[in-house]
Amino acid sequence: MISWPNLVSQLFNGLALGALLALISSGLTIIYGTLGVLNLAHGAMFMIGGYAGYVAYQYTESFIAAVVAGSLFVMLLGVAMERLIIRHFYHRPHEDQLLVTFGLGICFVEIVRLIFSSQSQVVPPPPMLQGITNLGFMFYPTYRLAVVGIVAVALGALFLILYRTRLGMIVRAGIEDSVMVDSLGINVYRVFMVVFGIGAMAAGFAGIVNAPVVSLTPGVGDDILVETFVVVVIGGVGSFPGAILGGLIAGEIISVTSMFNPGYAYVMLFAAMTLVLVVRPHGLLGVQGRE
Amino acid sequence: MKDNLIGRGLSLGISRRRLLQGSAGLVGGTLVQGLPAFAADKPALGTYPAGVSGSTAFIGISVPRTGTYAVQGEDELKGYELAVEHINSGHELIKKISPKTTKGVLGKELKYGVADSAAKPNEAVQAQQRFISENKAIMITGGTSSAVAVALNKLAQREHVIFVCGISGSNDTTGKDCVRYGFRQDFFGQTAAAAIGPVMVKTFGKGKKAAYLTPDYTYGHTVTKSMQDYLATAGWTTATDQVAPLGAPDYSSYLLNVANSGADVLINVNWGHDAVLSTQQAKQFGVLDKMKLVVPYQVPFIAPETKGLMQGVYAATDYWWTLEDKFPLAKIFNETFEKKYGYKPEWGAENAYVSFAHWARMVEEAGSFYPPDVIKAYEKGETIPSLVGDVHYRAEDHQCVRPVIIVRGKMEKDMKSKDDYWEVVEIVPGEGLMQKPDAFGCHLGEYS
């Protein structure tokens, strides 16, 4: 049904959907840009963030505690993963990196399934963010509105880390030329560990923030991973601003297309990715990146 | 090795001559045992007789254990496992459905293999092809997605191996995609619509506007079509039909369209986790405060998973455990199932159990695993027991004619136990719900 109120509703919903996609994608793109590793376990880490937060919520009934626990747990998991496994693959072919992260993703999903079963789990939003808000032109879930703000703050924090700190400068330099950074006496592998931890934390944070919007299942990361890759490809692989732009574009495409014909929402998303790959193979804001 | 054996035989006090005589007798006996299949003029067909030449018969089971339908697939698998256990042990419940069963099927112990289909047709077909080639599966099963059921229908017909369908709600499964080698026990789009439609008209009135959430594959399309067709007879119109892919991670954009559609009733055809997620998000967007929710094809476990959102909601289903108050076989099933698995069975388990029990009965009736004989046993259309009373299979499309159960979600205050989620409102006899056998374009194909 095409009408102005519906169009405005869908445009706004696309913004909210896109903000979430941007946050999830940013972790993936930072890790790839710096380490050159395409982390196929990113969806699983998004899922684990949700479950770690869910467990914390069960014990504390505090949403803030859930967010903190979900983010920190996945950050630690990311660091452990990098130290124990990923670092052995930096100098191996991309195919090996894809396979090992793909395998780790499957292991994580099945371990969670073993512990929690496939039945969905619910993390309610904080009481003050429950219900629906009247925006004048539409009614919209209050928590989803809050998610836009939460994601904006999180992306702002990531921006400050990447563009206003020494670590961020090294990370960005590492994206351009890691050999040069190494030759300047900087322990680039320690930086890699920190970056992997931050990227994982972004996924975990997104997982628990997203938990009240969806119901948690072990497969929740699989569903979102495909969209995340599309976002990264559209925005530019390895580009943090590209992840934000790609997320917003993807959110708007899904939302607005569904107004005309929902069956084509994902067709249009993949068509947009194809178009970007043809016109700008490195994505809208992408750089050549590490070889 | 041979010498050792003979040496051992001699040491046991058996002469070489006696041993040779015994061996000849054994070989002869084996040959004679194998004779009836050929003597009765039953040529090799599919995995027959290779799959049943020993003391066991193999069944290939493919259910979704991951993905959107994983929860329902696990429940279904438990139903299959219990049925195999009961058939092999000659349990009293199996004997009530298949009186000629003693232990096993025609005396052969059932073995089975399980594969995760993830509700994807290609994965299910690959797994079942492997079971057929490597294990000589004499029967295959799988479902919890009509796309899988339709694909396995085609495989069964090509390989001449009987396919006993798991959960499948599409009209196509025993409609335009029906096959001679496929059988379905459970209810489906047409019967769901014909059963719940009158209840909806009675409850909500005539001339209402409905919004649909439809999964984008054969199940969703046919169930929505059946609902639209039935409700049109009462003056209902479709305000919007939101078609979403299986496993959609978010329903917000679809639900905004629903919210802006002006519909009176939301008919959620989604299934598995898609149904849970879309219902939860419908609540988040205030849709459930604006319009009534109906689930025409009930989803096992949706009530506990949606945490109270099914209260007051009407649904059509194959089975609900409180039917044990009316049907003695349901009571036996519930008790044995709960004892083994620790929870009340949902309808996926019921369908799995009954469809296996019916297959065992048909093989016993046929007196042979020879597929055309088993198919003809089904096609006799005999009235046979199920957990919800007597049923029969139609010869024309291999669809079981069975009741559809209309349930309504109980309010929390009315629940007598933690599993008491639904109240059985009506048990609608199957005969009046069925379309004409050729209405959905079924042509069964050949026996061999």
Which residues in chain A are closer than 8 Å to B67, comparing Cβ atoms?
219, 222
**For residue B152, pLDDT beyond 80:** yes
In this predicted complex, what is the ipTM? 0.79
What's the CA gap between A120 and B302, in Å, rounded?
10
**Which chain B residue's Cα is nearest to A20?**
B250
- A134 shares contact with chain B (CB less than 8 Å): no
A106 class by beta-carbon count within 10 Å (0-12 exposed, 13-18 middle, 19+ buried): middle
The reported pLDDT for the residue numbered B41 is 67
Which residues in chain A are closer than 8 Å to B275, comparing Cβ atoms?
none
**For residue B17, pLDDT beyond 80:** no
> Does the distance separating the beta carbons of B277 and A262 come in below 8 Å?
no
Q: B233-267 pLDDT, tens per residue?
A: 999 999 999 998 888 888 988 998 899 899 999 99
- B216 shares contact with chain A (CB less than 8 Å): yes
Q: A121-163 pLDDT, tens per residue?
A: 989 999 999 888 888 877 889 998 899 999 999 999 988 988 8
The reported pLDDT for the residue numbered A4 is 79
Q: B402-440 pLDDT, tens per residue?
A: 999 999 999 999 999 999 999 999 999 999 999 999 899
> Does the distance separating the beta carbons of A265 and B253 come in below 8 Å?
yes
Query: Which of A15, A120, A257, A270 has the most B C-beta neighbours within 10 Å, making it the best mutation to test the interface with B?
Result: A120
> Does the distance separating the beta carbons of B254 and A258 come in below 8 Å?
yes
> Does the distance separating the beta carbons of B285 and A139 come in below 8 Å?
yes
**For residue B284, pLDDT beyond 70:** yes
The reported pLDDT for the residue numbered A287 is 66
**For residue B205, pLDDT beyond 80:** yes
Q: A182-214 pLDDT, tens per residue?
A: 888 888 888 889 889 999 999 999 999 999 988
- B280 shares contact with chain A (CB less than 8 Å): yes
As a whole number, mean pLDDT of residues A164-175 equals 83
Phi, psi of A229 (to 5 degrees): -65, -40
As a whole number, mean pLDDT of residues A69-91 equals 94
Give pTM, 2 decimals.
0.85
Which residues in chain B are closer than 8 Å to A214, comparing Cβ atoms?
249-250, 277, 280-281
Which residues in chain A are closer than 8 Å to B257, comparing Cβ atoms?
1, 6, 10, 258-259, 262
What's the CA gap between B423 and A49, in Å, rounded?
38
As a whole number, mean pLDDT of residues B145-153 equals 95
Give every CB contact of residue A4 below 8 A, 6+ residues apart in sequence.
none
The reported pLDDT for the residue numbered B140 is 98
- B308 shares contact with chain A (CB less than 8 Å): no
- B307 shares contact with chain A (CB less than 8 Å): yes
CATH number for the domain whose boundaries are B2-187+327-401: 3.40.50.2300
Q: Where are the domains of chain B?
A: 2-187+327-401, 190-317+404-428
The reported pLDDT for the residue numbered A170 is 85
State the average pLDDT for chain B.
91
Query: pLDDT category, B33, cuts 50, 70, 90?
Result: very low
Of the CATH numbers 3.30.1330.10, 1.10.760.10, 3.30.450.20, 3.40.50.2300, which one belongs to the domain with range B190-317+404-428? Answer: 3.40.50.2300
Q: B73-93 pLDDT, tens per residue?
A: 999 999 999 999 999 999 999
Q: Give kind and range of the element (H or E) at residue B314.
A: strand B314-317
Query: pLDDT category, A288, cuts 50, 70, 90?
Result: low
Q: Are A232 and A285 in contact (CB under 8 A)?
A: no
Query: pLDDT category, B71, cuts 50, 70, 90?
Result: very high
The reported pLDDT for the residue numbered B32 is 42
Cα→Cα distances B349→B23, B92, B171, Å: 47, 18, 21
